[in-house]
Amino acid sequence: MINKPNFRSTLRPKGKLQWTLTIVAFILCLISPFLLYYTVYPHSAYHVFSILAMVFSIDPRIMLITVAIIILFGVFAFWKKTFLAAIAYMITLCLFSSAMFYQFYGVYSMAKDENISLSIIQNFGRSSTYTDLPNHSMNDIVYATLKDGTKLLLNVWPAQNANAGKPDPAIVRIHGGGWIEGGRGESPHWNQWLNENGYTVFDVEYRMPPPERWKVEVGDVKAAIGWVAENASTYNIDPERISLMGQSAGGNLAMLAAYSMNSGSLPPSVGDTVVPIKSVINFYGPSDLTRLFDYSLSLDYVHNILSQYIGGSPSDFPERYQAVSPIQYVNSTTPPTITFLGLNDHIISAEQAEVLDQAMTSAGAYHEMYLLPGADHAFDTYLGNIATQYARAKLEAFLKEHS
C-alpha cells in the first residue's frame, strides 16, 4: 500500500531553503496589511509605516520593483514546492498591489473625467528626459549682502525657449524643508520644465533657525524678489511678470511674500522695493499656521518645526502666527493662486487648502485648488508621479493665463 502525503506535509517547509523562503514570506505577509492601512489612512511622519507609504507614494517605481520581487519569490517558492510560502507571497502580492493601485487610481480617474492625458509608463517607469538636459544654471549669485557681511545667494536658470527677443516671464522658486532645513537646487526637474516652457527661474535661499526666523525668512524672499526686478534687464525678464512658486514651507513663504507685499509689517531684509506679483504657485503650503499647529497628522513634527521657526506655540506668540499666515492678507487684489495638495498628506491637511479657498472666494480673488486623492506630502519630488503629471497639466494652463 502506497502512503500518499497528506495536505499538511506538502505545506510544511523542509530544508534551509524552504524555511528561508517561508520565513521571508511570512514577514512580508505581516508587514503588507500595515503598509496598505497606512497608505489608505496616513499617520504621523514619525511612524515607520507612514514613511514607507510616503516613499512608495512619491516614487511608484519603488513599489513596482517591490511587487516584481514578491512575484519572483512567489514563483520560486512554488517551483521549489514551498507551498505555504507561495500562499503567503500571493497574499502579500495582493496587498502590495492594492496599495500601489490605490495611490494611482484616484488621480488617474480625476484626470480621465477632465480629459487630461496621463502616462502610466511615466508613473511606473522612466519619466522623461528632463534630468538628462544640460544644466544651464548660473549658481551662487549674491542677491543681498547683510550688515554682518552674510551673503544671500540664488541660482538662475535661464529660459531655454526665448520669446523671440522679448523679455521672458520669471518664476522665483522658494524651497521647502519646514522652515528649518532644505536649500536651493531641490527638485531641479521643476526648473528644467519651467525653462523648457519659456520661464527664467530664480532659485533662492533664505536664512533659517536658529534663532527663530519668522520675520527674516519672508524678508529674505522679498529681498530676492526685489533683486530680480532690479536686475530684469540683465537676465532679459519682464519685471511685471514675476511669479512665485514653492513647496511646503516654500509654498507658505511664496503666498506670504506675494500677499503681504504692500504690508509694512513684513519688510524686505534688504532694500525697500515693492514688486507686484503676477501669480503664485503653491504646492501643499499651509495658509494658516495657527490651524496647522492644532490640526495635523504629524503634530509632534509640526510643533517642533513651528517652535523653531516662530519661537514657541500660538498661545505664546499669537501675533507672530497671524503675521506669517498668508490667509490674513487675502483681499481682492491678491495675486491669482493655484494650490495643489494631496488628500493623503500626513503633514498638511486638506483644511489648509480649503480655508484658503474660502478666503479667496470671499475676497473675489482668482484661485484654483486641486486636492489630489492618494497623493502624499512632497508627491512632486518624482517627475513621473501620476499626481505630478496632473499638476503639470494644470499648471501649464494656469501659467498661460497668469504669467
Q: Where are the domains of the chain?
A: 11-124, 138-402
Which residue shows C-alpha cell 502666527?
321
Q: Which residues, at least 6 apart from 205, have a Cβ–Cβ distance to it below 8 Å?
A: 152, 153, 154, 175, 183, 184, 220
What are the pLDDT digits (tens) for 26-72? Answer: 999 999 999 999 999 998 988 899 999 999 888 889 999 999 999 99
Q: Any idea of the CA torsion for 102, 108, 113, 118, to the nearest 10 degrees? A: 180
Mean pLDDT score of the chain: 92
What is the per-residue pLDDT for 8?
53
What are the pLDDT digits (tens) for 140-194? Answer: 999 999 999 999 999 999 998 766 679 999 999 999 999 999 999 999 999 999 9
Q: Which residues of the chain have pLDDT under 70?
A: 1-11, 126-136, 162-164
What is the per-residue pLDDT for 129?
43
- What is the rounded end-to-end Cα distance, in angstroms, of the chain? 86
The CATH class of the 138-402 domain is: alpha beta
The one-letter amino acid code at 338 reads I
What is the per-residue pLDDT for 45?
85
Q: With pLDDT > 70 as the criterion, what percentage of the chain qualifies?
A: 94
What is the per-residue pLDDT for 379?
95
What is the per-residue pLDDT for 113?
94
What is the per-residue pLDDT for 150?
95
What is the per-residue pLDDT for 15?
83
Here the cell at position 362 is: 470671499
